[in-house]
Structure formats: C-alpha cells, structure tokens
Amino acid sequence: MPLNRNLEAMARQLYDYWFVQFDFPDENGRPYKSSGGKMVWNEKFTKELPEVWTVSPIGQILDKYPSTKRFDTSEYLKEGLFPIIDQGESYIIGYTNDSKNILYRHPAVLFGDHSTRVKYLGFPFGRGADGTQILYSNDERISPWFLFLFVSSLSIPNPGYSRHFKYLKEMHIIIPSQKVADEFVDVIKPLFDKWTDNVMQIAQLTKQRDELLPLLMSGQVSVMPPEVNCDLAA
C-alpha cells in the first residue's frame, strides 16, 4: 500500500519531531527545544524531557475493553461486514458477520503478544486467533494516534518465543502536556483518517479484482479497449 506507507512515514516524522526531538511548536510557534524551551532530566528515560511532562508505566494508562471471542482461522470469511485483524504480517486477514463479537470502540491499537507487531485500527473489527492484545488509553493526553506511534517505536525485550505483553506493560510512556497532546491530535488525526479510508478502498478494490479475474480467465467477460477516434483534422 504505497499511499499508506507515505502517510505513515509522514506521521512518524511528525511524531519524531514532536516527541523525540521535542521541537513541537511552542507558544510562539517556534520549535520548543531548539528555541530554548525548559527541559528537565528524567531518570526513567535517562534524558531530558520538556518541563511539566510526566512518565508512566504503560500498564497504568491502558483502559479495559469488553471480552470478545478470538475468531479461529476456520471461521474467517472471504468477505463480510467486519474485518478480522490478527498479529500476523498481513493487515486484514478475513471477515466476519458476527456483530456480537466485534470491538466497536475505535481508533484502537493492536499489539501482537507473540509477534510484537503493532497495528492501528480505525474501524470496528474482530480479533483473530490468540495473542491479539487491544490497547486503549485511559488518559486523554495519550491519544490512540500517539499511543500507536509510541508503542510501535519501542524495542520490546525478546527472551525467545514468549508472550511480550507483560514486558510492554512494564515499559514507560511519555505523557505530554494537555496542550501539546491536543495540538498533536489536530495535526495527526487527518493523516490517519486518510490512511483508514485508503485501507477500506484497497480492500474493496481487492475484492472486485478477485471476483473479476476468474471471469476474465474463463472468457465469461472481456474488457474492450476504448474506441480510438482516427479522424484527422484537415
């Protein structure tokens, strides 16, 4: 998905500028750290963070979500009302019409307990297979867009084949001021809205391709080339 790779790259550049370099716009629209914004040493991150920003174990900022079934691969449909997402490399791996076991609260972040893969989910979805941990924030300063970008930037400890969610919860997350958090949402949300639109459009086009290709191969339908106007002006 080239368009989405470009959108995600833009989002990560913004995240890096604001929350790694700490050059988010200050009250005068200048880059905060580069313009002399006050920084305070933080022991957990072993570096300076902007004044009044705090940190917290990730486990303490996670919100609970309804217990829903994890769909087995035998239950996946080729098409349906709701996409199924798991912790594997592919994004949408199937569909379901089972509306009772859908997580309607979105945006959300999926963390793969085994794979450590992180996915952004901007639509209602079903959970595939084992190991799909869904992350919601209980702190309004940590938006789902910030949470996705922060968690996906982490290096999760990897002691062999293990469940990694317990390690993730022990790691610390930066909590910006409410003002910076709100301004970041204003900038980043439109990028992810467009990202989600692209995902839905690509899924629909893929479905149409899969339906049309066998018909083309069997000769049941044909694609006529556009007519060419050969009249030449005198």
pLDDT in tens, the chain (234 residues): 445 778 889 999 999 999 999 999 999 999 999 999 999 999 999 999 999 999 999 999 999 988 888 999 999 998 899 999 999 998 999 999 999 999 999 999 999 998 899 999 999 999 998 889 999 999 999 999 999 999 999 988 765 657 899 999 999 999 999 999 999 999 999 999 998 888 777 666 566 555 556 656 666 656 555 565 555 444
C-alpha distance from residue 206 to each of 166, 180, 201 (Å): 37, 39, 9
**pLDDT score for 41:** 97
Using DSSP's 3-state secondary structure scheme, residue 50 falls into strand
DSSP string, the chain: -HHHHHHHHHHHHHHHHHHTS---B-TTSSBTTTTT--EEEETTTTEEEETT-EEEEHHHHBPP----PEEPGGG-BSS-SEEEE-SSSSSEEEEE--GGG-B---SEEEEETTT--EEEE-S-BEEESS-EEEE-BSSTTS-HHHHHHHHHT------SS---HHHHHHSEEEE--HHHHHHHHHHHHHHHHHHHHHHHHHHHHHHHHHHHHHHHHHTSS--PPPP-------
CATH, domain range 2-201: 3.90.220.20
pTM for the predicted model, two decimal places:
0.84
**pLDDT score for 230:** 52
**pLDDT score for 157:** 74
